[in-house]
Structures are given as C-alpha cells and as structure tokens.
C-alpha cells in the first residue's frame, strides 16, 4: 500500500528509527525492530529499566510516530519490560556515523512458550498476503504455529491432528493476530483456555473428526 510507512520514530528517542513494530490487542509491545547508533540502542535498553518516576523512564511505554504521504499519526505503545527479550540482529561497525545496531525487542513467549498457562507467541515474516486468521494457514511458516499449538496444548495432539486443532482454537477465539504498525513482522498469539479446549478436542475425537490413523 502506498500510504503504508516504511520507517517510524520513537518521539522520546529521535535518534532511533523503527522498521517493524507489533502490539497485542491491548496495545502492549510484542515485537520491535529499531536501528541506531550503539549508544542510542543502549540508552533505549537503559530507559526501559528506569523507575516510572524518573523523567527519562520508558517503563510505561513510548510514542511511535508514523509519517505517511498523506498523514502523520502518533500511537502510544505500552511495554512490560520484564517480559521482553532482546537480540542485536545486526551490527555495522566503523561507519561514518559510528557503530550502528539493529536491536530487536520481543515478547519472551516468542522464544519460550508459557506451557503452564498454555500461551505462545509466533513471530513470522510478513509477506503482505495475510490479512486474517483464515489466511494464516497459507503462510509458508504456518508449521511453526502448529508446532507451538502442540507444545502448549493441555491434551496430547497428534501431528496430523494439529491443523484441525488449530482451526478449532481459532473458532474458540484462542488465536489472535497482533496489530502490525509497520515492517515485515507478523505476530500470532495462541492462548488456550484449558477446559474449553480439552472439551472441543474430545468432541472432535468422539464425532470421528480426529482419528488415530492419519
């Protein structure tokens, strides 16, 4: 889309540029990719740890500015720093601007599912053709979603059951796509309600939809 921004800016830290950002349905950060000098990315990490009463603190979130050809918008992004993991995906040293880093911040469930609470976050590359949950099975990396569902399920899921079980979870509104503000990241969250999901799987077994034989 021509009106889709390719770069965003954190108003509190103008030296950083955002090229991907996703939030959950409540506005909390689930994935962020920022570029900046090493000093700027380190400052961001430091400000996310400062107490809320500190002027420079970002522990309660930050403001994302998106500049499109026809408009400019500002969105409040909420954060829970203790739940975020960090990765420096790329570093370019000795540029004329100094050392440049690409920092990723993301929900820790993207690397380690919360099996106790039956929740997981799957970060996929956004190819621009997934607009709804119904289209998610078309994604080349959809197998990652099935693997995570099997991992966090409160009941055993055979490999050939996974697509049907995933569809059932979607119908029960236990799968959601996070809001993507910009960039090529697509976040899908699975949050299974134990008793409800168990009951649906039992129904699918009893009516013959799920069988032992593939």
Q: Is the pTM of this model over 0.75?
A: yes
CA–CA distance, 175 with 42 (Å, rounded to integer): 34
CA–CA distance, 171 with 185 (Å, rounded to integer): 24
pLDDT < 70: residue spans in the chain: 1-5, 69-70, 93-97, 214
Q: How many domains are there within the chain? A: 2
Whether residue 165 is found in the same domain as residue 137: yes
Whether residue 210 is found in the same domain as residue 137: yes
Residue 172 structural domain: 113-214
Is the CB of residue 150 less than 8 Å from the CB of residue 137?
no
Is the CB of residue 175 less than 8 Å from the CB of residue 131?
no
CA–CA distance, 128 with 106 (Å, rounded to integer): 21
Which residue, 108, 124, 148, sits at the end of a domain? 108
- Per-residue pLDDT tens over the stretch 20-55: 999 999 999 999 999 999 999 999 999 999 999 999
| Diameter over CA atoms, the chain | 66
Q: What is the dihedral of CA 206, 208, 213, 214, to 10 degrees?
A: -120
């Amino acid at each position: 889309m021509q009106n889709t921004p390719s770069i965003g800016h954190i108003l509190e830290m103008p030296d950083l540029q955002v090229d991907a950002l996703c939030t959950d349905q409540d506005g909390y950060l689930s994935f962020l990719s920022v570029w900046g000098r090493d000093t700027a990315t380190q400052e961001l990490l430091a400000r996310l740890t400062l107490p809320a009463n500190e002027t420079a603190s970002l522990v309660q979130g930050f403001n994302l500015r998106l500049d499109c050809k026809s408009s400019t918008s500002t969105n409040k992004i909420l954060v829970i720093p203790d739940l975020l993991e960090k990765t420096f995906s790329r570093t370019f040293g000795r540029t004329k601007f100094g050392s440049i880093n690409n920092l990723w911040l993301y929900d820790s469930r993207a690397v380690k599912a919360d099996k106790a609470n039956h929740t997981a976050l799957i970060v996929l590359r956004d190819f621009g053709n997934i607009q709804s949950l119904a289209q998610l099975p078309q994604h080349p990396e959809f197998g990652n979603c099935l693997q995570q569902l099997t991992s966090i399920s409160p009941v055993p899921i055979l490999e050939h059951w996974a697509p049907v079980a995933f569809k059932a979870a979607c119908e029960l509104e236990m799968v959601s796509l996070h809001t993507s503000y910009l960039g090529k990241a697509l976040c899908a969250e699975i949050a299974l309600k134990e008793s409800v999901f168990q009951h649906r799987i039992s129904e699918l077994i009893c009516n013959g939809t799920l069988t032992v034989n593939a």
